[in-house]
Amino acid sequence: MLNSIAILGGTHGNETSGIQLVRHWQNGNLPERFRALQPEMRLVNSAAIEANVRYVDDDLNRQFTAHRLEQQCSEAEAQLARQLNQTLGPKGNSATDFVIDIHNTTSEMGATLIILQQDEFNIQLARFVKHHMPEANILLEDDKAYSEHPYLCTVGKQGVMVEVGGQPQGVFREDIFQLTQTLTETILDFCIAYNAQTLPELAPCDVFILGENICFPVDETGARIAMIHHSLQDNDFQPLLPGAPVFKCFDGTEITWDQDTVIYPHFINEAAYATTHVAFATASLTKL
Ligand SMILES: [Zn+2]
């Protein structure tokens, strides 16, 4: 039974869809059918929202490991993380049954539901979302245990992220907002069915499983020597075949995918990862 549900926007202050959706629903516009769920709705990082930046001192969505929460770091987001852990968590023994944290990406990932473990709850949720919103992508990040993820949503007993793009940082697009609203409402419809024990038996659905981050090639000074190839750009979750071009170098040459497996790139050219030179993440495709 999901007795306490939290819907969060503005974990990153320049990801506008979740901020606007939470504001809209806080202003009395939560659809009637969700009112029995009594979700708590929060705009998380108000200083970053005010400044229209991802974060003030440090990435809030990387603070929620046991180690970071125990350290008495003075960065604005580290302090905020400890407060959120007290009010929504504490992580590992949480007062919140389910946290839905809403994000935007600059990559063309459409409406993506990120789940962090393949237990019965998350598999049922994935199938429900895919059944009611076939255009949504399901991405499973279970490269580490749920409790070891640094993400804010893991303060809940269960936590997922809504990740919708492509939308530039700080920009508000109506189409992206609609996808965000539809995916979030579909998750809440799942919560209603879950609590009423009326979930249908659904067939396994397509799920992308996170692989690894692929970085831009750099020279000995750390400067990039290549761009995302135009045939890969904006093709998030489309299969990348062995031998297909990945990078276009400034000297005119191309770098191709040199592994012998098909991968499904996503977070292609994500603006927030540019400083770490992450070009995209890989995924495999399975049925869950
Ligand atoms: Zn984000």
User: How does pLDDT run along the chain (288 residues), one tens digit per residue?
Assistant: 999 999 999 999 999 999 999 999 999 999 999 999 999 999 999 999 999 999 999 999 999 999 999 999 999 999 999 999 999 999 999 999 999 999 999 999 999 999 999 999 999 999 999 999 999 999 999 999 999 999 999 999 999 999 999 999 999 999 999 999 999 999 999 999 999 999 999 999 999 999 999 999 999 999 999 999 999 999 999 999 999 999 999 999 999 999 999 999 999 999 999 999 999 999 999 999
Residues 264/277, Cβ–Cβ less than 8 Å: no
Closest-CA residue to 2 (of 114, 86, 125): 125
pLDDT, tens only, 44-78: 999 999 999 999 999 999 999 999 999 999 999 99
Q: Which residues contact 82 (CB under 8 A, 6 or more apart)?
A: 69
Cα–Cα distance list, 278 to 159, 239, 242, 270, 273 (Å): 25, 19, 20, 8, 6
Report how far ligand 1's centroid is from the alpha carbon of 116 (Å): 15
Which residues share a beta bridge with 111? Answer: 164
Report how far ligand 1's centroid is from the alpha carbon of 192 (Å): 26
Q: Was 24 annotated as part of a binding site?
A: no
Report how far ligand 1's centroid is from the alpha carbon of 23 (Å): 17
Give the domain ranges of the chain: 5-203, 211-273
Using CA atoms, how far apart are residues 181 and 35, in angstroms rounded to an integer?
A: 16
Residue type, 124: Q
Domain at 5-203: CATH code:
3.40.630.10
| Structure-block tokens of residue 226 | 């290549």
Catalytic residue among 40, 70, 75, 163: 163
Distance of CA 213 to the CA centre of its chain: 15
Whether 163 sits among the annotated catalytic residues: the reply is yes
Using CA atoms, how far apart are residues 75 and 57, in angstroms rounded to an integer?
A: 6
Q: Was 266 annotated as part of a binding site?
A: no
Looking at residue 97, what DSSP letter applies? S
* Domain 211-273 CATH (choose: 3.20.20.80, 2.20.25.160, 1.20.140.10, 2.60.120.650): 2.20.25.160
Q: Was 12 annotated as part of a binding site?
A: yes
pLDDT at 219: 96
Using CA atoms, how far apart are residues 16 and 52, in angstroms rounded to an integer?
A: 9
pLDDT at 265: 98
Using CA atoms, how far apart are residues 64 and 244, in angstroms rounded to an integer?
A: 37
Report how far ligand 1's centroid is from the alpha carbon of 198 (Å): 32
Using CA atoms, how far apart are residues 5 and 158, in angstroms rounded to an integer?
A: 10
Q: What pairing do the DSSP bridges indicate for beta strands 5-9 and 206-215?
A: unpaired
Handedness of CA 240, 243, 244, 245 (dihedral sign): positive
pLDDT at 276: 94
Report how far ligand 1's centroid is from the alpha carbon of 112 (Å): 12
Using CA atoms, how far apart are residues 264 and 284, in angstroms rounded to an integer?
A: 6
pLDDT, tens only, 111-151: 999 999 999 999 999 999 999 999 999 999 999 999 999 99
